[in-house]
Amino acid sequence: MFGDKLVQEIPHLRRFARSLTRDKDEADDLLQATLERALAKKHMLRKPGSLRSWLFRIMYNSHINTRQKASAREIPMDFLEDSPLVVSAIANQEQQMEVNDILAALYQLPIEQRAAISLTAIEGLSYREASKVLKIPQGTLMSRLFRGRQALRRTTGEDIVALRTGPTLFRVK
């Protein structure tokens, strides 16, 4: 039962891992570490809590811990090749370039802002849920979202309201 629910969350976890690491291989490692930790600590999951939020929190904390230990290194740009985002219609070259520009701008944000935007805009968590995942006050989350969106606006010239993996890529010009 727990395993089945865990398997259902893997696509969401993979997307969040990619948004945190900016590297496919590192994201896979982070996903594996998260799943291992979740299985080992499943007794700590509170029943009324959200499994997805709990898993996101484990992943974010694991990433921060790993990042603090690792030295800074060059980040490859191959994350754009197999983007997890899907647009509502078959993308023409111009639309795909716009999506790539948005993703590149997102990956240039500081990790705190990128995590806040990824959890709310891509994964669809409420501000309350996202602030719990990141273990920050809701006001701090909203501030990070504001600064992240401002930076995206400056970089892309557009206001990114929500990036969804579903049928639509929302933008407000």
CATH class of segment(s) 2-69: mainly alpha
Domain ranges in the chain?
A: 2-69, 84-172
Tens digits of residue pLDDT in 94-124: 777 777 788 888 888 999 999 999 899 888 8
Phi-psi region of 74 (alpha: psi -120 to 50; beta: other; left: phi over 0): beta
- Asked if 125 and 56 count as a contact pair (C-beta separation under 8 A), the reply is yes
Identify the pLDDT of residue 70.
59
**pLDDT under 70: residue ranges of the chain:** 47-49, 68-92, 158-173
Architecture category of domain 84-172 in CATH: Orthogonal Bundle (1.10)
pLDDT at 168: 43
